[in-house]
Amino acid sequence: MLFQGWHHLRSSEGEINWSGRFVGNTDPIMEKFKASIAYDQRMWEADIKGSKAYVKALQKTGLVTQNEMEQILTGLDKFKIKPGDEDIHTANERRLKEFIGNPAGKFHTGRSRNDQVATDMRLWLRDAFTTLKELALQLISTMVERAAVEIEILCPGYTHMQRAQPIRWSHWILSHAASLSRDIKRLEDIRKCVNVMPLGSGAIAGNPFNIDRESLRQDQISINMVETKFLFWGSMCLTHLSKMAEDLILYGTNEFSFIILTDAYSTGSSLMPQKKNADSLELIRSKAGRVFGRCAGFLMTLKALPSTYNKELQEDKEAMLDTYDTVHTVLQVATGVISTLKVNQSAMEGALCPDMLATDLAYHLVRKGMPFREAHSCAGKAVYIAESKNIHLSKLTVEDLQIVSPLFDKDVSSVWDYTKSIEQYSTPGGTARNSVTAQIPHFRTWLQAQKQ
């Protein structure tokens, strides 16, 4: 009686393409629950592209006539979503039937929504990757050009959030550009998986109609979940951007005052008139969490699924689309921030202190023949003496230092020069001027090659 009482709630609008097995209508709440049209309609262009390719393959096998193929191809151009459409694939077939009648029932021959949606997602992702790559390249280019202009600016480098060694500001910028360049390489690796065409492979057993899959540009059957790879990629990319944002948030505080964000990427406080909040950077950090959540959520969906298709897998589209939208926006905001922020050079260089040259003090002894581990210990003892005297390391006298090691003499004064300290790191990847300068044309050449 309970189920009979529900029967009047079920929809009677339209015929669904899997209805032959079922004698009743679906509860409208269930229809809404299982529908994916709200988000997968964004893939309608890819769905039509794949459908046109498939119907041409059907014509080659004789399963549709030349005239039927032409009708189907023309009808597919008249796509329109209507209430009650479950997903983009059934919407296309329903609309096609409205225009050409019975021949529309042929164009799904031997094809499952499984291989259809896999094809749609790959076609859509291929275009999405191109867009994301262009935005990431624009961000890297902005960072590289900023590094070139501001190469003479020195600043503290930090480890464990403590002043570590002096570096060039450009060295910091290019470290984040390098991370993003690796993200682009990973995106290109995923593109290779995306370019494997699943169209015509059916639901599980294959296609029985001798479809020419080579004509569909099929290279191999892919068993990889490309959308999962994309969610991982989005998580990693935003990890890098979140780390950069965290640094800039700190550098923009009054305690640091290294940078100033423009008003275009800041907001004020509703209570405190003096506040200028780095909302753009804080939101970049939060969007990273959003994408991590999408990735982790979909992995939780996958973890207990049996082989082949299960309805839970439709959750991948919403996660994929949201990840794309999020990364798409974050890359643009990050580019805006990097291109417009102002650097307070005097504050950066004023934050340098002689204690950051303790490692250089150890290197000074190494150059006199002392093993590094012993030299490191001597420098540590010198730091202790300076702390005991409540003075900077550079204020220790030669006599103070000779208590630590007799190798110290008057030439130790050459250690207390920040530029000289930086210039000793001239190996590739170092912070010396020639090393940073060498990276800039390297990045420019790489960027140009990527754009081609």
Q: Per residue in 65-99, pLDDT tens?
A: 999 889 989 888 877 777 667 777 677 777 788 88
Whole-angstrom Cα distance, residue 381 to residue 148?
39
CB atoms within 10 A of CB 449: 8
Inter-CA distances, 321 with 53, 107, 131, 361, Å = 24, 27, 13, 54
Residue 49, pLDDT score: 86
Q: Can you give the pTM of this predicted structure? A: 0.85
The answer to whether residues 184 and 450 touch, using CB atoms and an 8 Å cutoff, is yes
**269 is an active site residue:** yes
CATH 1.20.200.10 is held by the domain 114-350: yes
Question: Under 8 Å CB-to-CB from 307, ≥6 apart: which residues?
Answer: none
Residues of the chain with pLDDT under 70: 1-24, 26, 30-32, 34-35, 37-39, 83-84, 89, 110, 197-225
The pLDDT, as a whole number, for residue 221 is: 40
Exactly one of 7, 19, 215, 269 is catalytic; which is it? 269
The distance from CA 110 to its chain's CA centroid, rounded to whole angstroms, is 36
Which candidate in 160, 270, 307, 388 is catalytic?
160
Alpha carbon distances (Å) from 53 to 77, 104, 162, 210, 238: 13, 15, 60, 15, 36
Residues of the chain with CATH 1.20.200.10: 114-350
For residue 220, what pLDDT is reported? 41
Position 18 scores a pLDDT of 46
Domain 354-416 bears CATH identifier 1.10.40.30: yes
CB distance 154 to 418 below 8 Å: yes
Residue range(s) of every CATH 1.10.275.10 domain in the chain: 2-109
Gap between the Cα atoms of 114 and 337, Å rounded: 42
Residue 3's pLDDT is what? 33
Helix (H), strand (E), coil (C) string for the chain:
CHHHHHHHHCCCCCCCCCHHHCCCCCCHHHHHHHCCHHHHHHHHHHHHHHHHHHHHHHHHHCCCCHHHHHHHHHHHCCCCCCCCCCCHHHHHHHHHHHHHCHHHHHCCCCCCHHHHHHHHHHHHHHHHHHHHHHHHHHHHHHHHHHHHHCCCCEEEEEECCEEEEEEEHHHHHHHHHHHHHHHHHHHHHHHHHHCCCCCCCCCCCCCCCCCCHHHHCCCCCCCCCHHHHHHHHHHHHHHHHHHHHHHHHHHCCCCCCCEECCHHHCECCCCCCCCCECHHHHHHHHHHHHHHHHHHHHHHHHCCCCCCCCHHHHHHHHHHHHHHHHHHHHHHHHHHHHHHCEECHHHHHHCCCHHHHHHHHHHHHHCCCCCHHHHHHHHHHHHHHHHHHCCCHHHCCHHHHHHHCCCCCHHHHHHCCHHHHHHCCCCCCCCCHHHHHHHHHHHHHHHHHHHC
Instruction: Domain 2-109: state its class.
Output: mainly alpha
Is position 89 annotated as part of the catalytic site? no
Delimiting residues of CATH 1.10.40.30 domain(s) in the chain: 354-416
d(CA 275, CA 359): 39
